[in-house]
Every structure is written in structure tokens, then in C-alpha cells.
Amino acid sequence: MPFYWAKKILQRKREVTYGTDPVPAAADAALAHEVDFVPYATDGVGRRAIKPWMGRTTKTKMANAKSTLSYFLEMAGAGAAGTAPKWGLDLRCCGFSETINVGIDVQYSPVSAAFDSMTSFWNVDGQRTRANGYRGSPVFEFTSGLPPRLRVAMTGLPLEPDDSAIVTPDFTGWSEPRVVNKVNTPTFTLHGFAPALSSLSIDLANVVAFRDWVNTKDVQITDREPAGQVVIEAPTIAQKNFFSAISGETLGALQLIHGVGAGQIVQVDAPQVQLLNPRYGESQGITTLTMDLEFHPSVGNDEVKITVK
């Protein structure tokens, strides 16, 4: 009998020991969008032994068998200040630390060691595919008229699929998101100027290395080169001369605050942002300025900080 694509669930759970399957609960279900799951991706090793005829001669050997998983989550506050959002797990597995200040806020900062990992459970109408050891890289997207998005791309260690009844998810703790606009996003500043913002994307750009070596098989985060892009209403030179900042290779701060009221706020801070490659465009007949961004550390492990409060 068929199993139905409309009936599916993604669960993720933090691993206490790397690569060791935890037991998922209904509350580990994710309100995920645009899930793209490849349970068994390999690098085919071609073999061309000589034979006295045309065509294939020997089987392709499978090497570096891995699992890849990408999706996006809508970013919103946790509903109460000092409570970790449900998407905090995904950040932790993408090279962020989590610091909970009870009753105040939860802070996420990049780290350079001791990376968390998770196991995913992807169930389509009773056929469950798992992979563990997942680590990856995140992209933050703030686009006017849409809820903020956390887009993640993970790499993990594939496991054998099985038949397992689909669970009833518990989405408690997933707050309702608010779209990016003037009311819901009260603050955006870049290099000391508050322009009209059309969109902002921040890519942590982790270097994610999959290894299948003798005596070890794992996924490691080995570096990062955070970058992004911003699209704003083009200011006059008198209002803000971004071109001077670009030609002078000036570093400046970026801040975005989305959400209003305790438990609803997601704040982004980047202390040292370099602006690159300015170009003009238009949106709804209004001239825009698009610039590429590079995120540099101030004291280390602080290129981009996410605060939920």
C-alpha cells in the first residue's frame, strides 16, 4: 500500500554522546519548512578496467556515505524572557553556544570548539529514516513582509531506515512568528545609520567536513567565514555616505531587533561589519542600494550574536 507524502514529521534531538542515538519525544518535533532530506549520499568511485567491448566494465564503489538535511524554521521569541526558543537546538548544532539568563534572555554566540550534534528522525507516513552526528551551517533571513527565517544545512551519518508509526507531534513552545515590518521590527541600524530595510541575510558559512577514515567517522566544523547581504532604500550622500565607508574599508556595527514585548524579541548584533560591492537596484519604483557584508570578530567568537528575550 502507498504511504502519503502529506503525512510527515521531522524530529531532532541533541546527542549526549556524539553519534549515539537518543530517544525522541513528541516535543522534539520541528515546525520545519521546505525539508530536503537525502538519507544516503555518496561519492561514487568510478572504475574503468579494460575490456574488449564498449560500455561499463565494473561496479561503481560507494565512498563517503553521508546524510544531508536542509530546512528552514521561523524565528520568534520563546514566549517568555529567559526561555530558550525551540530553534535553539539547531543553532547549537551549527556552531553556537547557548547561555540562558533565567528571566532575562538567552544568548547565542559562535564557538570554536565543543560543537553540539543531533540525531534527526524523518518519518513519512510510517517509514522512518534516521541519521545521527548532524552538524551544519545556518543562514538568518530577515525579509520585509515575511517572518524571519533560520535556514540550516546539516550533514550527518546515515542509519538504516525502518517502519515506525508516525508520532503525534507536540508543538508546544513554538511561538507564532511575526512578519518583518515597521511595527514588528522596530530597530535596524548599520554603521550608525537607520535606513529603510528591505532584506538582510547573514550566512555563518561554517566549513563542515565529513570524514570516513580508518577508526573514525564523523562531521566536524573546522572554520567559518560569516558573510551576508543587505538591501536598503538608497540614502542621499548627505544622509549617509556608505561609499566612503566601503572605500575606506571601515568596520561598523549592525543591529536588528525584531519583535515587541518580553518573550517575543529576537535581536541580532554584529560589532564589526565590512561593506562591499555596492550596487543600485529598484523595488516598487524606489531606488535601492545592495551591499555585500563580511562579519569580523571584535575579541573572537562574537562576529554575530543572537539574543532572544
Q: What is the 3-state secondary structure (H, E, C) of the chain?
A: CCCCCCCEEEEEEECCCCCCCCCCCHHHECCEEEEEEEEEEEEEECCCCCCCCCCCCCCCEEEEEEEEEEEEEECCCCCCCCCCCCCHHHHHCCCEEEEEECCCEEEEEECCCCCCCEEEEEEECCEEEEEEEEEEEEEEEEEECCCCEEEEEEEEEECCCEECCCCCCCCCCCCCCCCECCCCCCEEEECCECCCEEEEEEECCEEEEEEEECCEEEEEEEEECCEEEEEEECCCCCCCCHHHHHHCCCEEEEEEEECCCCCCCEEEEEEEEEEEEEEEEEECCEEEEEEEEEEECCCCCCCCEEEEC
Is there a contact between 157 and 69 (Cβ–Cβ < 8 Å)?
no
Query: Could you tell me the CA-to-CA distances from 113 to 57, 92, 155, 189 in Å, in that order?
Result: 46, 12, 18, 31
- pLDDT value of position 140: 98
- pLDDT value of position 46: 77
Query: Could you tell me the CA-to-CA distances from 270 to 65, 109, 172, 183, 246 in Å, in that order?
Result: 37, 10, 31, 22, 17
pLDDT, averaged per 10 consecutive residues of the chain (309 residues), comes to: 91 96 94 95 81 81 91 96 97 98 97 97 94 98 98 96 94 96 98 98 98 96 98 98 97 98 97 98 98 97 98
Selection from 281, 274, 255 nearest residue 266 by Cα: 255
204: Cα separation from own chain's centroid: 8
Is there a contact between 127 and 163 (Cβ–Cβ < 8 Å)?
yes
Burial of 157 (0-12, 13-18, 19+ CB in 10 A): buried
d(CA 204, CA 307): 16
- pLDDT value of position 54: 85
- pLDDT value of position 3: 86
- pLDDT value of position 21: 87
Q: Dihedrals φ, ψ of 89, to 5°?
A: -60, -45
Type of residue numbered 26: A
- pLDDT value of position 2: 87
- pLDDT value of position 1: 78
Is there a contact between 281 and 234 (Cβ–Cβ < 8 Å)?
no
